[in-house]
Amino acid sequence: MSVSVVLPDQLRGLVPDGSNVCLPGDPGTVREALETLRRHHLEVYHRIVTEQGEVRPHVNLFVGRENIRWHEGLETRLPEGAELVVLPAVSGG
Amino acid sequence: MPEHPSGIQGGAGDVVLMVGTTKGAFLLRTDPSRQGWVMDGPHFPGEEVFALSLDQRGGRTTLWAAPGNPFFGGSLRRSDDLGATWSAGEDLPIRFPEESGLSLKRIWQIQPGRTSEPDRIFLGVEPSCLFESHDDGNSWSPVEGFMNHPHRPRWEPGAGGLCLHTIVPHVSDPARMLVAFSTGGVYGTEDGGVTWSPRNRGVRAEFLPDKHPEFGQCVHKVVNHPDEPDRLYLQNHWGLYRSDDWAGSWRDIANGVPSDFGFGMAVHPGDPDTVYIVPLEADTFRCTPEAKLRVYRTRNGGDSWEPLTRGLPQKDAYETVLRDGLCTDTADPAGVYFGTRSGKLYASRDAGDSWSLVREGLPPVVCVEAAVLA
């Protein structure tokens, strides 16, 4: 099974069917998944990742329930069929 | 979520108001009498929209919007059917080169270029930089002479961030342009953007130990009139100024205003001597002085200012109008418009003599642009 990227509401309008993105090619790490996302959905990629290739400061990526910041960062492994969940930091307003 | 807006249908002579808020954009239209407004929106619900523009050069009717999100950054969208549908350009998103070390946070200004260059458009962004397109917005690149300016490490962000919020192309000379940003002040180019120099002589930096540095001023808005392009008016973070030599020097024109602190500034479409501002009490209390909502107008180039109050609340009005929250249209008599952080939208169809409340209950208004449809 391929890896899927679960987008928050704020980014769903940037993909054709407004839902999650299934990534081709079985990326093995978060970095590889983001690179695949860049090739297929450039604007979604740039809303998640800065020009310097870093995840934006107030954006969190989870593999399953685990925030990659507390694991291996972009080198965090993606198991087969994993969901890479994109979540903005919670704030008021 | 609100229903999907359908855009506005308008004909020649109709006036369009584009209102950006922290929760989306709203489009309003009225016929040439400007007596009643139809509203459409929110477009981009939930997203902040700090910049909107209607480009009618070269026979086109292109509406530009810059929806964004503080977490996910800014973007640019265009509509060629007055908001019925929106699309991205061919080369979006807008982004800095990786090696610049900069990352786009927000688009603050969308400025169509000179009429003689109908495919040229400029963007002012945060962190402070100027982007340009030479192909009607299909591709964008940063102006390298500004992006790589040696002063950049010493530019400091204001409360709104390090934002380039004002772009003033010279109406007749394509080599000349001014920009303003907070903080940094006014910078100008005489060689089409290759080199840039500060143009802040006479402008105070009240918040610095050196009150008159070469750069570092917190300029809030600069306007001019195409009939007198070298004459500029400037609303500063403390200070109202006028220049008669294309920002070579500035002189104080805060003659008779309750405060020289404020953000928005607009020039009358038919008279270079007439300018509008909305003074605020202080940087530590950014509300209308004495809780009275007053637009101030000069009709003599800043020698004196008069309060415009008819139709505006003069009691318990603790309002704030931000740097792009005040504008004029090009009708005759001129329309003047402003939006407040409390979500109120006011209009005057007699050059500011009287005002009416167009809408209230909007999200906090951050920009208002007006245009007469060709």
Please provide residue A38's backbone torsions phi and psi, each rounded to the nearest 5 degrees: -60, -40
- Residues on chain A touching B46 (C-beta within 8 angstroms): 9-10
Amino acid at A30: V
Find the residue in A nearest to B364 (Cα).
A93
Cβ distance B100 to A58 less than 8 Å, yes or no, reads: no
Find all residues with CB under 8 Å of B353, minimum gap 6, and list them: B308, B310
Query: DSSP strand E in B8-157: where?
Result: 15-21, 24-30, 38-43, 48-55, 62-69, 73-74, 77-79, 106-112, 121-126, 129-133, 141-142
Q: Does the pLDDT of residue A78 top 80, yes or no?
A: yes
Task: Give the domain CATH number at A30.
Answer: 3.10.20.30
Q: Is B97 on the interface with A (CB under 8 A)?
A: yes
CA distance B97 to chain A (A): 7
Q: What is the pLDDT along chain B (374 residues), one digit of tens a residue?
A: 566 899 998 899 999 999 999 999 999 999 999 999 999 999 999 999 999 999 999 999 999 999 999 899 999 999 999 999 999 866 667 999 999 999 999 999 999 999 999 999 999 999 999 999 999 999 999 999 999 999 999 998 888 889 999 999 999 999 999 999 998 999 999 999 999 999 999 999 999 999 999 999 999 999 999 999 999 999 999 999 999 999 999 999 999 999 999 999 999 999 999 999 999 999 999 999 999 999 999 999 999 999 999 999 999 999 999 999 999 999 999 999 999 999 999 999 999 999 999 999 999 999 999 999 99
Q: How high is the ipTM of this complex?
A: 0.88
Cβ distance A43 to B93 less than 8 Å, yes or no, reads: yes
What are chain B's domains?
Answer: 15-372 (2.130.10.10)
- Residues on chain B touching A93 (C-beta within 8 angstroms): 22
Domain that holds residue A54: 3-88
- Residues on chain A touching B70 (C-beta within 8 angstroms): 58
Q: Could you tell me if residue A60 is inside a domain?
A: yes
Q: Which residues of A touch B (CB under 8 A)?
A: 9-11, 42-43, 46-48, 50-53, 56, 58-59, 88-89, 93
Closest by Cα among B328, B211, B342, B307 to B264: B328
Cβ distance A43 to B92 less than 8 Å, yes or no, reads: yes
Amino acid at B63: L
Cβ distance A10 to B93 less than 8 Å, yes or no, reads: no
Q: How far is CA B242 from CA B150, B200, B202, in A?
A: 27, 11, 10
Of B71, B98, B102, the CB nearest to A59: B71
Q: Could you tell me if residue A93 is inside a domain?
A: no
Q: Could you tell me if residue A28 is inside a domain?
A: yes
Mutate to test the interface with B, among A12, A43, A50 (most CBs of B within 10 A): A50
- How big is the A-B interface in CB pairs under 8 Å? 47
Q: How many domains does chain A have?
A: 1
pTM for the model? 0.95
Q: Could you tell me if residue A57 is inside a domain?
A: yes
Please say whether the beta carbons of B342 and B364 come within 8 A: yes
Of B72, B95, B101, the CB nearest to A59: B72
